[in-house]
Amino acid sequence: MDKMLARGSGSGSTARPRPRAVLLSMVAGAAVVAATVAVASSASAGTTLGASAAESGRYFGTAVAANKLSDSTYVGILNREFNMVTPENEMKWDATEPSQGQFNYTSADRIVSHAQANGMRVRGHALAWHSQQPGWAQNLSGSALRQAMVNHVTQVATHYRGKIYAWDVVNEAFADGTSGARRDSNLQRTGNDWIEVAFRTARAADPGAKLCYNDYNTDGQNAKSNAVYAMVQDFKARGVPIDCVGFQSHFNSASPVPSDYQANLQRFANLGVDVQITELDIEGSGTTQADNYGRVVRACLAVSRCTGITVWGIRDTDSWRASGTPLLFDGSGNKKPAYTAVLNALNGGGTPPPTTTPPATTPPPTTAPPTTPPPSGSGCTATLALNQWQGGFVTYVRVTAGANPINGWTVVLTLPGGAAITNTWSAQPSGTTGTVNFRNVDYNGQLGAGASTEFGFQGTGVGPSGTATCTAR
């Protein structure tokens, strides 16, 4: 199992078994047991980025482009050095839903399959973003766009359910500069609650993935990061499911590594979320670049909830800003001084993050908590939370087992007149209007005593709220 995170660099690698790394690898490895079978290289703790990061329970990842998976130099470095991948463009809205309702996962699936076959985990990027929207979405607004976004998040997160370590659920939603305001966008104009709706929808679709907010120019304490901080604080207070904040960390001389980088990571971590460095690149060369990389890595290692670092590409020539030579390998795949600085920093130790745990079970969304006890059918209860907008809604239903374990459940509720369900996730509905029975699906029927699960549905018209009857089997 140790080999999954501490993947070898070949015959020259030296195995330095360390009990803690073994334990952490076993914990993390439980999620990708099948993948470990395909990994047979020797352990190399301390000699590759991924193995060295794993020594303190962290990951070291890279952005990957599907069309480079046939480049043997690229794949050689990828498989040797990294244990987390982020599809650079392939999971974005324009790539996964080029026509409304027509989903294309070919390129993203290729990356996920490669990761799984080589013992790497996957960061999903990005479910809801103002940029790289398909043309049809760019032309939508209001409730039509809100419904399209909810459906997109549901479909994509469901397709990858169980395969994603963390999702960038919402990307770059705040304005640059000193306003501290949300960025104006078609999504923002659907209503200020679009971000929390995206997070709730993602949680319902893939309860096992950590859900992150991701942004740039938030790497130090400034008006933009203060605004993100306030949003995360508010989400935690209201039970909106958020598990992590991503700091893109694109640096150059005009946008250097901030002096309070570590302090900024720490203050977010203190809110009770993980922090991750999600798109690191630093333009430059030689010692200066190497020193900056070392600083970033040491900052993460000093923050116990900084769970990992992802660089935004492998070789300089793979970068979205290749002319700035911002990565760890040159165009020929040779290690740069920056690589050595990162490896040395990783091997210098750090504060281990808490042992791997699934995302915290968040309380149900807090819109209109029921004032009367939920009507109980038998053995379970169901509480509803409603996100309503002009012409449409999403209802989230939390099913909680009573004093005994249950093997299945059915929730019965009646939709207001004129309302119609357009899609449901994590339950099987009997119909779309009037009184509807929602039956569990195969993975969420069994609940221990007092345990709960969530399903949801989206519709047109006015949605139901309050409570519903739940009957256990």
Q: Which residues bind ligand G3I (CB under 6 A)?
A: 88-89, 131-132, 216, 248, 279, 320
How far is it, in rounded angstroms, from Cα 264 to Cα 352? 18
Number of residues that make up the chain:
473
Tally of CA atoms within 13 A in the half-sphere of 211 that contains its CB: 31
Q: Compute the least distance from the CB of residue 127 to ligand G3I, in Å.
A: 12
Helices 261-269, 223-238: inter-axial angle, 10-degree rounding? 10
Is 172 annotated in the active site? yes
Strand, coil or helix: 146: helix
Strand, coil or helix: 40: coil
How far is it, in rounded angstroms, from Cα 230 to Cα 224? 10
Cross-strand partners of 459: 393, 421
How far is it, in rounded angstroms, from Cα 166 to Cα 346? 22
Q: Compute the least distance from the CB of residue 261 to ligand G3I, in Å.
A: 18
Q: Compute the least distance from the CB of residue 397 to ligand G3I, in Å.
A: 33
How far is it, in rounded angstroms, from Cα 409 to Cα 445? 6
Q: Decide if 126 contacts 215 (C-beta within 8 A).
A: no
The closest residue (CB) to ligand G3I is: 320
Residue 77 gets the label, from left (phi > 0), alpha (psi -120 to 50) or beta, of alpha
How far is it, in rounded angstroms, from Cα 119 to Cα 32? 7
Nearer to ligand G3I, 165 or 247 (CB): 247
Nearer to ligand G3I, 63 or 394 (CB): 63
Residues 6 or more apart from 326 whose CB is under 8 A from it? Answer: 250, 251, 252, 281, 282, 283, 284, 289, 312, 316, 319
What letter represents residue 242's amino acid? Answer: I
Q: Compute the least distance from the CB of residue 310 to ligand G3I, in Å.
A: 11
Nearer to ligand G3I, 89 or 185 (CB): 89
Nearer to ligand G3I, 66 or 300 (CB): 66
Is 90 annotated in the active site? no
How far is it, in rounded angstroms, from Cα 397 to Cα 401? 13
Nearer to ligand G3I, 248 or 440 (CB): 248
Nearer to ligand G3I, 133 or 307 (CB): 133
Q: Compute the least distance from the CB of residue 128 to ligand G3I, in Å.
A: 13
Phi, psi (deg, nearest 5) at residue 20:
-65, -40
Cross-strand partners of 392: 389, 460
How far is it, in rounded angstroms, from Cα 264 to Cα 272? 14
Structure tokens of 82?
Answer: 């990294």
Q: Compute the least distance from the CB of residue 45 to ligand G3I, in Å.
A: 30
The active-site residue, picked from 88, 97, 196, 279, is 279
**Which class for 226: exposed (0-12), middle (13-18), buried (19 or more C-beta within 10 A)?**
middle
Q: Compute the least distance from the CB of residue 63 to ligand G3I, in Å.
A: 6
How far is it, in rounded angstroms, from Cα 368 to Cα 351? 41
Q: Compute the least distance from the CB of residue 173 to ligand G3I, in Å.
A: 12
The active-site residue, picked from 81, 97, 172, 454, is 172
Whose structure tokens read 């993100």? 228
Nearer to ligand G3I, 284 or 374 (CB): 284
Nearer to ligand G3I, 52 or 62 (CB): 62
Cross-strand partners of 452: 400
Residues marked as catalytic: 172, 279
